Amino acid sequence: MKKIIISIAIMGLILSCSNDEMQPILNISSPSAYVINGESTTISVIDLANYEINTIKLSNKSGGGHLSHNSSDDIQFPHHIYLSPDGTKLSIGVPGVDLTEGHSGVHETKGKILIVDAKTGQTLSKTDLDKPNHNSIFSPDGKEIWTTLMQHDGKTLVFDAQNMTLKNMIAVGNDPAEVTFSSNGKYAFTANGGSNSVSVIDIQTKKVIKTIAVGNEPVGAWTGSDGNMYVDNEIGKSVSIINVDKLEIVETVDLGFTPGYVAYNQSLNEMWVSNAGQSFVYYFTRENNKWKKAGSIQTGLDAHAIAFSKDGKLAYVTNQKNLTVSIVDAANHTKIKDIQVGQKPNGIVIKN
């Protein structure tokens, strides 16, 4: 087994010596949307009351993408972002490669995990991995950080959230991407893009209890509050729906387009799927106990991640090649406005 190289840099509130490297200490207290801008290496923090934006710098890079003088910073292309259960910290996967252009060539880079203070914007720790990762996510109790290694002999890694020491290394399928958790807090689901499967891991025992065959090149098993996991199969152009109680596929939805992300809206009982590379989000409703395409919403080019407000009335969609986040009236399926953010926005999380 190849040794995993791990190093932790505790940043605290240390400020760099040049203005270019300085991250201002923020005071984010309002309900906000945190948007990862992969190419800008920043987080746009959108105040959901007035849509004003604060920016969190994750890198010491100066303009034009070059490193600042004497900088050893190597944070490149942060991808997905998750909030700790208590709402105080953000966990960010940094694959080191632009995943908006696809997953080819990812084996040549090294990934990282960043932990950021959700209120101040200060980086609390940086953990280096010897292979790229798709995301990093807090466990349901907030005591662990889970991530994957995107390599042929795939691994799901579990770290102690307090000191970022490696606790477990779990063998999964080939080229795993996103790792997520079921809404009941019992299982982790790792989407194995190279094996066309999803590994189900018992959170307590850290053992794979089942491997479920899905469509071609799954990227994530996205958590639904209805007791299902929604798996987007990019090459298969489908969604595999896994029932968490049964741990089996209960429905496969053929899309006819490449999915970028899947989100379930409980208040409307709708499934929303973004169309990767295109400017649309499609919504599906239940008809004869099956998901049927009901319509589309035009957002921005390369629509990607979808997040709903707590009451399900608003949707927030990142548009990777439009440098915007679209705010959508979910019930009426109409766009309200676009908000300008950084370059190649992808992951988004809502803090209420």
Phi, psi of 63 (to 5 degrees): -60, 145
3-state secondary structure (DSSP) of residue 172: coil
Q: Residue 325, class by beta-carbon neighbours within 10 Å (0-12 exposed, 13-18 middle, 19+ buried)? A: buried
pLDDT of residue 106: 65
The residue ranges of every structural domain in the chain are: 1-13+27-135, 260-352
3-state secondary structure (DSSP) of residue 323: coil
pLDDT of residue 73: 62
pLDDT of residue 108: 73
- CA atoms of 59 and 74, how far apart (whole Å): 8
pLDDT of residue 79: 96
pLDDT of residue 109: 86
CB distance 305 to 261 below 8 Å: yes
Sheet of 238-243: strands edge to edge? 218-223, 228-233, 238-243, 248-254
Angle at 63 between CA 25 and CA 303, to 5 degrees: 85
Q: Residue 165, class by beta-carbon neighbours within 10 Å (0-12 exposed, 13-18 middle, 19+ buried)? A: exposed
Second CATH level (architecture) for the domain 260-352? Beta Barrel (2.40)
pLDDT of residue 107: 65
pLDDT of residue 59: 85
pLDDT of residue 185: 97
Per residue of the chain (352 residues), give pLDDT as tens.
Answer: 444 444 444 333 333 333 345 688 999 999 999 999 999 999 999 999 999 999 999 987 544 343 333 334 689 999 999 999 999 999 999 999 998 876 655 667 899 999 999 999 999 999 999 999 999 999 999 999 999 999 999 999 999 999 999 999 999 999 999 999 999 999 999 999 999 999 999 999 999 999 999 999 999 999 999 999 999 999 999 999 999 999 999 999 999 999 999 999 999 999 999 999 999 999 999 999 999 999 999 999 999 999 999 999 999 999 999 999 999 999 999 999 999 999 999 999 999 9
pLDDT of residue 12: 38
